[in-house]
């Protein structure tokens, strides 16, 4: 599979990138170089990431040199770790990939330190022998830094809160070219802005965070035929309303082709998945879930008592690079009327082109601010909505817009930074007070506007 669309012309620049190459240990590549295409590859293959140059950093000092080089030559810099959240508009000049920063240390007493290129799976596997788990994402193949700096809404979020609430320290090369360590007491405004503010203030090189004692969970995904979606969704809404915080749940409509990794029971049909994570006593979790099991005939039941290393079985997100068009919103409520409106466009017989339509219940520990303030502004949301379609399918973008329009009566509040897909949408991810604090932090730590995201939005 081609990982980037090479039909899109890369940007050009007169900057002397050979100078950067001489200053760094990592690889510097421009479009004419053989290494270029592999280095700029994002996970979402529909997004044409074609910068004027890319640096594959091998150390924090490489990142320092890249940011200082950009400042000297009037360039804007964008970081990329695993490439799950690229925006073509922000990756036009100098891209710094941090996959080479691969430090990963799990401390048995309950915390971890990782480099910016590390994915959750490494921490999950290293923590498991100690009975510990991180607040990882819905798939452990995603990078830790991008996920966490966007807030980090994971499959145990109603129990333990957002990933940013467990962060101890962040090491970052700020837009002024300095490597800093941000903690609640060292550069507190930087610590505030990095947790929820994505890459506005600099390029993260390492992050430290607490783990939780969660060797096992009761959960997974339970699948129904799409013709029962209305019945199951109605039952799910009533059931979820009374769930305690030891439960985190979501529903998702899937349309998956017959291909390796897709169970035959689910292939080539519309199916509804009810996702469930119960962090308490497994027998109680099973009793609680009986209401959903009884709501309609079951296609596939993967809800069981499992080790945390099986957490990917809850959301069943794809591993392979995908040409996706994504859209999302946060909802103030998701009553029966909203569910009916959503299913009219995406349910049985609708002809929906979307591969995934997901509604996550929020609340619980998500709604409570962590011990230290952060730039994450979406704690008041009741639910989140996400749609994913194949980008080159005719009408998929217009259909996603119709879904958002139909959900407008229940849409409100700052959107989730990690479910934000254009630079313009970032302005809707923060309340006014947070925007002002981020602007002040940008003026302090990136006075020349070197970081592309901060420059576009808040200067």
Per residue in 349-390, pLDDT tens? 999 999 999 999 999 999 999 999 999 999 999 999 999 999
> Do 33 and 175 sit in the same domain of this protein?
no
Q: Answer whether residue 444 is part of any domain.
A: no
Average pLDDT, the chain: 92
The answer to whether 57 and 101 are in contact (CB under 8 A) is yes
Q: What is residue 351's DSSP assignment?
A: -
CB atoms near residue 77 (< 10 Å): 29
Q: Is residue 187 within a helix (H) or strand (E), and if so which, with residue range?
A: none
The encoded tokens of residue 10 equal 């890369």
pLDDT at position 6 is: 43
> Do 27 and 120 sit in the same domain of this protein?
no
- The percentage of residues in the chain with a pLDDT greater than 70, rounded to a whole number, is 93
The answer to whether 325 and 400 are in contact (CB under 8 A) is yes
- 213, 228, 262: which is the final residue of a domain? 213
- 97, 122, 139: which is the final residue of a domain? 97
Distance from C-alpha of 395 to C-alpha of 325, rounded to nearest angstrom:
11
> Do 91 and 151 sit in the same domain of this protein?
no
Q: What is residue 163's DSSP assignment?
A: G
Q: Answer whether residue 341 is part of any domain.
A: yes
Q: Which domain holds residue 377?
A: 216-423
Q: What is residue 262's DSSP assignment?
A: S
- 97, 128, 154: which is the final residue of a domain? 97
> Do 188 and 234 sit in the same domain of this protein?
no
Beta strands in 187-265 (DSSP E): 202-210, 212-213, 216-225, 247-256
Q: Answer whether residue 428 is part of any domain.
A: no
The CATH number assigned to the domain holding 79 equals 3.30.43.10
Distance from C-alpha of 122 to C-alpha of 102, rounded to nearest angstrom:
10
> Do 158 and 258 sit in the same domain of this protein?
no
The encoded tokens of residue 19 equal 């100078």
Comparing CA positions, the residue from 398, 266, 271 lying closest to residue 325 is 398
Distance from C-alpha of 47 to C-alpha of 8, rounded to nearest angstrom:
10
Low-confidence ranges of the chain (pLDDT < 50): 1-7
Q: Answer whether residue 455 is part of any domain.
A: no
Distance from C-alpha of 326 to C-alpha of 45, rounded to nearest angstrom:
12
Q: Answer whether residue 340 is part of any domain.
A: yes
Distance from C-alpha of 39 to C-alpha of 31, rounded to nearest angstrom:
10
The answer to whether 165 and 366 are in contact (CB under 8 A) is no
Q: Answer whether residue 315 is part of any domain.
A: yes
pLDDT at position 88 is: 62
* pLDDT (tens digit per residue) in 309-340: 999 999 998 766 677 899 999 999 999 999 99
CB atoms near residue 297 (< 10 Å): 8
Q: Answer whether residue 2 is part of any domain.
A: no
The CATH number assigned to the domain holding 154 equals 3.30.465.10
Alpha-carbon distances of 157 from 246, 248, 361, 371, 424, rounded to whole Å: 9, 7, 10, 16, 27
Comparing CA positions, the residue from 151, 118, 152 lying closest to residue 138 is 152
pLDDT at position 423 is: 78
> Which neighbouring-strand residues pair with 322?
44
> CB pairs under 8 A, 24+ apart, for 79-82?
79/116, 79/199, 79/203, 79/204, 80/40, 80/42, 80/49, 81/116, 81/117, 81/143, 81/145, 81/146, 82/43, 82/117, 82/119, 82/141, 82/142, 82/143, 82/146
> Do 378 and 305 sit in the same domain of this protein?
yes
> Do 38 and 122 sit in the same domain of this protein?
no
pLDDT at position 85 is: 64
Distance from C-alpha of 194 to C-alpha of 183, rounded to nearest angstrom:
10
pLDDT at position 44 is: 65
> Do 255 and 384 sit in the same domain of this protein?
yes
Sign of torsion over alpha carbons 37, 454, 117, 388: negative
> Do 128 and 224 sit in the same domain of this protein?
no
Q: Answer whether residue 338 is part of any domain.
A: yes
The answer to whether 396 and 363 are in contact (CB under 8 A) is no
Distance from C-alpha of 181 to C-alpha of 186, rounded to nearest angstrom:
7
The answer to whether 10 and 49 are in contact (CB under 8 A) is no
> Do 90 and 235 sit in the same domain of this protein?
no
Structural domain count, the chain: 3
> Do 80 and 24 sit in the same domain of this protein?
yes
Distance from C-alpha of 270 to C-alpha of 275, rounded to nearest angstrom:
16
Distance from C-alpha of 104 to C-alpha of 119, rounded to nearest angstrom:
10
φ/ψ of residue 205, rounded to 5: -110, -25
CB atoms near residue 154 (< 10 Å): 26
pLDDT at position 230 is: 98
> Do 307 and 373 sit in the same domain of this protein?
yes
């Amino acid at each position: 599979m081609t990982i980037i669309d090479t039909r899109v012309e890369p940007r050009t620049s007169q900057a002397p990138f050979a100078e950067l190459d001489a200053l760094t240990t990592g690889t510097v590549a421009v479009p004419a170089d053989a290494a270029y295409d592999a280095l700029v590859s994002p996970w979402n293959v529909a997004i044409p990431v074609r910068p004027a140059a890319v640096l594959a950093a091998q150390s924090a000092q490489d990142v320092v040199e890249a940011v200082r080089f950009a400042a000297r030559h009037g360039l804007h810099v964008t970081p990329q770790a695993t490439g799950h959240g690229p925006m073509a508009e922000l990756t036009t000049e100098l891209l710094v990939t941090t996959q080479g920063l691969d430090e990963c240390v799990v401390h048995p007493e309950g915390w971890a330190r990782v480099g910016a290129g590390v994915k959750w799976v490494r921490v999950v596997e290293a923590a498991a022998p100690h009975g510990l788990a991180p607040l990882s994402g819905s798939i452990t193949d995603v990078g830790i830094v991008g996920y966490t700096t966007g807030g980090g809404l994971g499959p145990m979020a109603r129990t333990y809160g957002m990933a940013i609430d467990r962060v101890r320290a962040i090491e970052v090369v700020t837009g002024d070219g300095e490597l800093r360590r941000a903690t609640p007491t060292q550069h507190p405004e930087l610590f505030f802005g990095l947790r929820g503010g994505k890459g506005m203030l600099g390029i993260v090189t390492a992050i430290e965070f607490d783990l939780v004692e969660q060797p096992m969970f009761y959960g997974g995904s339970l699948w129904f035929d799409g013709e029962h979606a209305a019945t199951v969704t109605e039952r799910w809404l009533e059931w979820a309303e009374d769930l305690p915080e030891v439960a985190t749940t979501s529903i998702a409509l899937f349309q998956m082709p017959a291909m390796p990794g897709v169970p035959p029971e689910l292939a080539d049909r519309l199916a509804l998945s009810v996702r469930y994570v119960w962090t308490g006593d497994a027998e109680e979790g099973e009793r609680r879930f009986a209401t959903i099991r009884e709501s309609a005939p079951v296609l596939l039941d993967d809800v069981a008592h499992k080790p945390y290393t099986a957490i990917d079985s809850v959301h069943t997100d794809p591993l392979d690079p995908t040409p996706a068009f994504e859209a999302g919103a946060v909802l103030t409520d998701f009553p029966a009327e909203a569910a009916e409106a959503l299913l009219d466009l995406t349910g049985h017989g609708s002809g929906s082109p979307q591969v995934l339509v997901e509604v996550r219940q929020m609340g619980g520990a998500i709604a409570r601010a962590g011990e230290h303030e952060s730039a994450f502004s979406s704690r008041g949301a009741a639910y989140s909505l996400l749609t994913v379609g194949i980008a080159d399918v005719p009408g998929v973008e217009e259909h996603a817009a119709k879904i958002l329009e139909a959900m407008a009566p229940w849409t409100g509040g700052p959107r989730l930074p990690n479910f934000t897909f254009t630079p313009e949408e970032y302005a809707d991810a923060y309340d006014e007070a947070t925007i002002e604090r981020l602007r002040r932090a940008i003026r302090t730590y990136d006075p020349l506007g070197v970081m592309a995201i901060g420059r576009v939005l808040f200067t």
